[in-house]
């Protein structure tokens, strides 16, 4: 390995990273939920800790395979404590972040010294990371990184749902952190340096601190992945019309609809997340009726209903690299069941002749295509209103043979990709 000479932040950042990573891998605690460990760190240290954990998870399968080249047998957590996580972080520093070898190895030794079980494996940790510093790059270059860093439960599903080649390009997209997209309230607003994508969606050129960028304080834009903007656009012209936005947090679609002139009723079950919608609306200077309620119990009607249903969110793995390691196939079944209940309830809210859009940020057919197939089979009063190329800014490749929207992380690859989304547009008949 070539020593870049990069000296990373100190031990406090790495201790925080270790606590977060151990929470993800040992307790299946979501990465975002562990970020409270960064409290008290400087901006620089917090940024390093977050990057260290994120990249360790993003490349975990390949890093683990590289480590196993120098370890005779796996370390049992009940005996070795956090030794495996310490090794993984060290490997990430050396091979992904390219931290100076002496700094990465010394930090790992110090982390092991503070763990009552891992301390007994300190000589092993030291020896393995020193070998990795010398030989790791050549080992890593010989591995199938995309396959190794995608758990079997996802790889086999994607190969079956799409094909082996598509599964690989999806996995390749997950090897890179997602760029940050923003949505303009109107084209005339103030916004930071960025590249136009489609509609009012733009991709930031140099994100920096979001709240310090031009136009943020003025409320001229908000952060939202470009793919996530598409479901709301499928409703068409909503100006002056009532739209019910179910499962509305964090509010991007609510703001899209309000900016388009709709009278929005945003329904969110979580009071904290509902408050966040209100805060976002206030900053953007838009108005909507925000209601705290379970979408399955909410009762009113409107000509337009948008459902961004709960799901496993496998279309957002670029942003949430912990997802493959804290979820499994059983989670798909559970999420699909809850989402179908919301779909049934949302459909009852659609007035005769009205439009229903159902969306999920999942790559799994059970949460998308199969939901709609089952629903249409049970509800003759609804029919599919096929998505056209004009609806998705000319990108006909985003439309399935059935006429639904399906984006993949590997789409727009020349611009940095996009989230994976599925959406179907349905129309209710004029008569019961």
Strands 421-428, 350-360: parallel, antiparallel or unpaired by DSSP?
antiparallel
Beta-carbon contacts of 144 under 8 Å, excluding residues fewer than 6 positions away, are none
As a whole number of angstroms, the distance between CA 148 and CA 139 comes to 13
- Cβ atoms of 60 and 88 within 8 Å: the answer is yes
- Cβ atoms of 281 and 288 within 8 Å: the answer is yes
Q: Which helix (H) or strand (E) holds 335?
A: helix 329-348
As a whole number of angstroms, the distance between CA 206 and CA 192 comes to 9
As a whole number of angstroms, the distance between CA 53 and CA 143 comes to 21
As a whole number of angstroms, the distance between CA 221 and CA 199 comes to 13
| Three-state secondary-structure class, residue 352 | strand
- Cβ atoms of 419 and 363 within 8 Å: the answer is no
Q: Note the residue count of the chain.
A: 432
Residue 11: which region, alpha, beta or left (left: phi > 0; alpha: psi -120 to 50)? Answer: alpha
CA-CA-CA-CA torsion sign (318, 323, 329, 330): negative
Catalytic residues, which ones? 361
| Three-state secondary-structure class, residue 148 | helix
Sheet arrangement for strand 194-198 = 194-198, 201-204, 181-184, 221-223
Q: Which helix (H) or strand (E) holds 57?
A: helix 43-58
DSSP H helical segments within 143-224, as ranges? 145-148, 152-161, 164-173
The CB-side HSE value for 217 (13 A sphere, CA atoms) comes to 4
């Amino acid at each position: 390995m070539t020593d870049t000479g990069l000296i990373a932040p100190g031990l406090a950042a790495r201790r925080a990273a270790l606590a977060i990573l151990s929470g993800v891998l040992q307790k299946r605690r979501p990465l975002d939920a562990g970020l409270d460990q960064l409290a008290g760190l400087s901006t620089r240290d917090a940024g390093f800790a977050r990057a260290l954990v994120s990249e360790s998870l993003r490349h975990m399968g390949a890093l683990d395979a590289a480590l196993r080249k120098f370890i005779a047998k796996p370390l049992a957590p009940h005996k070795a404590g956090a030794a495996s996580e310490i090794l993984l972080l060290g490997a990430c520093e050396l091979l992904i972040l390219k931290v100076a070898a002496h700094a990465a190895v010394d930090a790992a030794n110090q982390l092991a010294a503070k763990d009552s079980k891992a301390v007994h494996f300190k000589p092993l940790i030291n020896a393995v990371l020193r070998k990795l510093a010398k030989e790791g790059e050549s080992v890593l270059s010989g591995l199938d990184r995309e396959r190794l860093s995608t758990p079997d439960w996802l790889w086999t599903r994607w190969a079956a749902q799409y094909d082996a080649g598509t599964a690989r390009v999806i996995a390749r997209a997950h090897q890179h952190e997602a760029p940050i997209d923003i949505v303009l309230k109107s084209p005339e607003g103030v916004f930071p340096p960025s590249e136009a994508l489609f509609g009012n969606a733009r991709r930031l050129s140099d994100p920096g601190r979001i709240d310090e960028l031009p136009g943020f304080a003025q409320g001229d834009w908000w952060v939202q992945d470009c793919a996530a903007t598409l479901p709301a656009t499928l409703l068409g012209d909503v100006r002056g019309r009532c739209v019910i936005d179910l499962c509305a947090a964090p509010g991007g679609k609510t703001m899209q609809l309000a900016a388009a002139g709709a009278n929005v009723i945003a329904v969110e079950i979580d009071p904290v997340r509902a408050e966040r919608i209100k805060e976002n609306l206030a900053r953007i200077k838009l108005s909507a009726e925000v209601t705290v309620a379970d979408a399955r119990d909410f009762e009113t009607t409107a000509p337009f209903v948008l459902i961004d249903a709960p799901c496993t969110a496998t279309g957002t793995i670029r942003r949430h690299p912990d997802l493959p390691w804290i979820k499994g196939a059983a989670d798909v079944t559970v999420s699909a069941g809850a989402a179908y209940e919301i779909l049934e309830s949302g459909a009852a809210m659609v007035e005769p002749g009205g439009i229903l859009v159902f969306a999920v940020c999942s790559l799994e057919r059970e949460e998308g295509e199969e939901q709609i197939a089952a629903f249409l089979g049970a509800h003759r009063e609804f029919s599919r209103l096929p998505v056209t190329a004009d609806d998705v800014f000319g990108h006909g490749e985003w439309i399935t043979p059935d006429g639904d929207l399906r984006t993949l992380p590997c789409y727009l690859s020349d611009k940095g990709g996009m989230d994976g989304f599925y959406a179907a547009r349905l129309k209710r008949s004029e008569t019961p």
